[in-house]
Amino acid sequence: MRLVYEWLRELVPLTADVETVATELGLRGFEVAAVEQRPQPVIDFEITANRPDCLNHIGLAREASAIWGLPLRLPPVDATANRPAGDSDRLDVVVDAPDLCPRYCAQVFDVKIGPSPAWLQTRLEAAGVRPISNVVDVTNYVMLEMGQPMHAFDLERVAQRRLVIRRATNGERLRTLDGVDRRLDPGVLVIADADKPSAIGGVMGGGESEISAKTTRIALESAYFQPASVRRTSKRLGLKTEASARFERGGDINAPPVGIARAAALFKQIDAGTPVGPLIDRYPAPPQPLRIALRASRVARLLGQEIPSADVPRFLEPLGFTVEVCKGTEPGWTITVPSFRVDVLREADLIEEVGRHYGFDRLPTRFPVLTDAQPAPDPRIIRDRMARHALTSAGFSESMTFAFIERSAALPFCQPGIEPTAISNPLSEKFAVLRPSLLPGLIDSCAHNRRRGRKDVQLFELGSRYTSEGEGRSIGLAWTGSASGAHWSGAARQVDFFDIKGAVEILCAAFRVAALDFAPAGADYLVRGRTADVRSGATALGVLGLLSPAIASARGFPVDEEIYVAEIDAEALARVAGGDDVRAESLPRFPSIVRDVSILIDDALPAAAVRGTIRAAAPPTLASIAEFDRYHGKGVPEGRVSLSLRLTFRDPERTLTDDEAQEATERIVTALNRAHGAERR
């Protein structure tokens, strides 16, 4: 909202300079975007959506009058245009959609079209509005002054001089004032004549009934439109106007007749027109004024400080509230809320008004008295912190993506035959369903980074996913590009299956998972043979592997580049996590004995199966197993692989002998031969 300072001083007799006014209004909760010292100084305010009453000069002048204790001088209106409403023989108005237009006022004027006087043009230009003609300029002036948008129809272009406020029908079209031909539907409220739509209610007028230099008689519209209807229409048509910005936030239902009376006064002042016939006011169901009980004790409780009783009416009455002292046992007031304060609905809203004008900076800054011990933090907070620490230490960056995604992105991660959970009223098709997995968002984040020249991406996310079993929490990982940075000593290595597997192992190690098993998996969105299920005993933890190239390509990722992903069930991980006790073990006192063994074995055999066989056959003195070489090629039969293992033996109580280590090694080789057909090389 652009406030013209001289316009404000016309409404409130301020003596402060423009910077002081901006500062004081800023202290009362209005964000000041800029103060510009033009020929007409202006202040740009960022008005929050809950204060449509301040999207005009009178609204901000009312705040200024309350701050400085000065009278508010409302601009003059034309008493002849405020005479009792009735029916006009020059214009017929019918409201067929009172739910979308609770009040509609109109007045016929004889006009003389021409340029506006210099003072009016100068003031509009200072407020950021381009002058057009005297009639149009007056409607814009009233909107900026009192916040009531209006529209003028050329009455000669209105078929049968009849205005019908109704829903549009399917297939109807209207060329709006911006020259665009728009297709309408029943969700759009239109102001129609006897034949066709002439304007979109609360948004923009139509070109066919636009006033021109030849116009001699107009129908001036001033109405209240249902805010949600205006917002839906504005979004649906992609049409944002000064009028829609005010109507969709909630206007003053009592302002339409006042707006016409103010326009009539301006027409008279600049010799642009005179009213003809009575005011037409279609107002079938006037609401009762809102009355709210305000307790003095509640004011003190919410603000944390006693406010003098005399200050409450002193703050509220200049803002337009009617204050009556309660005669009951509890001290307080009964407040009648003015119709322009659509944001005040309950007692707490009134207390906010008292606090604003008392000064939030004057309220004490102290914590409330604690009567109970602070509860322990939710275990999920601790677990999330552990996961973040482990994964960021491994080089990953945390990503935060939307829980709402498009259906095509969700389908590959749903169980066969199961549809993702749809959103009843999505903002767009890109936010149509709840995510069944964290991976779609991470994949899109990788593609987003890749399109901007970032080839090496490591991301993780902690969040909720929504499946047929309900909401669950998981940890997602995505890794593409290099596994290690480029260095002069050698070329960079691309990430592979074992890198993402290692990241999952680091994550599980942070939770002290005792036994971790990896087995071949068959997730449809992963490449078979390069994927694995992650388990701990009988508990399934998640899955990891190479993302299907078709899915990566569909999300905008280059076909020739790979993305490795993993998703771990955070709740299952918490169930198998080790205890909080950390036990330290002393360094070995006795030396170890190392034996290297090379065997020929099936090349498709998982390493976990080989390790399991070794541990089952080995004595307790086996301290560790490490694979240090894997070879297939010349000299190795087809379907077989040469695997070299390093076995470390150690006894915590004594020094082992070579014979004992050799015997254990032979037992292991024999077990491998029996279980897997392994041959020693």
DSSP letter for each residue of 122-170: HHHHHTT-----HHHHHHHHHHHHHS--EEEEEGGGSGGGEEEEEEPPT
How far out from the chain centre does Cα 543 lie? 30
Rounded to 5°, the CA angle 305-306-308 comes to: 140
| Residue 230 included in any domain | yes
Segment 151-155 shows an average pLDDT of 96
- Note whether residue 127 is domain-resident: yes
Q: Are the CB atoms for 410 and 440 separated by under 8 Å?
A: yes
Q: What CATH code is carried by the domain that includes residue 547? A: 3.30.930.10
Q: Give the residue with greater pLDDT, 582 vs 8.
A: 8
Give the model's confidence band at 585: pLDDT under 50 very low, under 70 low, under 90 confident, else very high.
confident
**pLDDT tens by residue, 3-61:** 999 999 999 999 999 999 999 999 998 999 999 988 899 999 999 999 999 999 999 99
Whose structure tokens read 């009213």?
275
- Residues 601, 562 share a domain: no
Task: Answer yes or no: do 114 and 261 share one domain.
Answer: yes
Q: Where does a domain end: 549, 576, 603?
A: 576
**Which one of 16, 38, 68 terminates a domain?**
68
Per-residue pLDDT tens for 430-468?
889 999 999 999 999 999 998 888 889 999 999 999 988
Residue 542 in any domain: the answer is yes
**Tokens, residue 533:** 């299920």
Report if residue 293 sits inside a domain.
no
C-alpha 652: how far from chain center = 59
Q: Indicate whether 267 and 314 sit together in one domain.
A: no
Is residue 287 in some structural domain? Answer: no
Q: 213-217 long-range CB contacts below 8 Å, 24 or more apart?
A: 213/113, 213/133, 214/113, 215/111, 215/113, 215/135, 215/154, 215/156, 216/110, 216/111, 216/112, 216/156, 217/90, 217/108, 217/109, 217/110, 217/111, 217/154, 217/155, 217/156, 217/276
Residues 147 and 218 placed together within one structural domain of the fold: yes
For 389, how many CA atoms within 13 A lie in the half-sphere containing its CB? 9
**397 within domain boundaries:** yes
End of a domain among 546, 576, 606?
Answer: 576
560 and 619 housed in the same domain: no
Residue 597 belongs to domain with CATH number: 3.30.70.380
Q: Which residues of 356-378 are buried (b: 16+ CB within 10 A; e: fewer)?
A: bbbeeeeeeeeeeeeeeeeeeee
Indicate which CATH number applies to the domain containing 182: 3.50.40.10
Dist. CA 425–CA 402, nearest whole Å: 16
Asked whether residue 583 is assigned to any structural domain, the reply reads no
Q: Is the pLDDT of residue 100 over 80?
A: yes
- The answer to whether the CB of 244 falls within 8 A of the CB of 234 is yes
Residue 581 has pLDDT above 80, yes or no: no
**42 and 103: one domain?**
no
**Sheet of 189-192: strands edge to edge?**
92-95, 162-167, 189-192, 197-200, 204-205
| 409 in the same domain as 468 | yes
Average pLDDT over residues 255-259: 96
Domain count for the chain, please give it. 5
- CA-to-CA dists, residue 582 to 510, 572, 579, angstroms: 12, 21, 8
Whether residues 278 and 313 fall in one domain: no
Does 465 lie in the same domain as 323? no
pLDDT in the model for residue 633:
86
Indicate whether 561 and 657 sit together in one domain: no
CB 150 within 8 A of CB 220: yes
Question: Rg for the chain (alpha carbons), in Å?
Answer: 38
Residues 204 and 263 in one domain: yes
Give me the sign of the Cα torsion angle 153, 159, 161, 163: negative
Dump pLDDT digits (tens) for 621-666: 999 999 899 888 888 888 899 999 999 999 989 999 999 999 999 9
pTM > 0.75: no
Domain, as residue range, for 353: 305-362
CA gap 607, 597 in Å, rounded: 15
Distance CA 123, CA 144 (A): 10
Instruction: Work out the mean pLDDT of the chain and round it to a whole number.
Output: 92
Q: 354: domain CATH number?
A: 3.30.56.10
- pLDDT value at position 256? 96
Please say whether the beta carbons of 531 and 546 come within 8 A: yes
In 294-372, alpha helices (H): 296-303, 311-316, 347-358
pLDDT in tens, 482-528: 988 777 777 788 899 999 999 999 999 999 987 888 888 878 899 98
Q: Which of 302, 220, 300 is nearest to 257 (CA)?
A: 220
- Domain shared by 244 and 276, yes or no: yes
Does some domain include residue 372? no
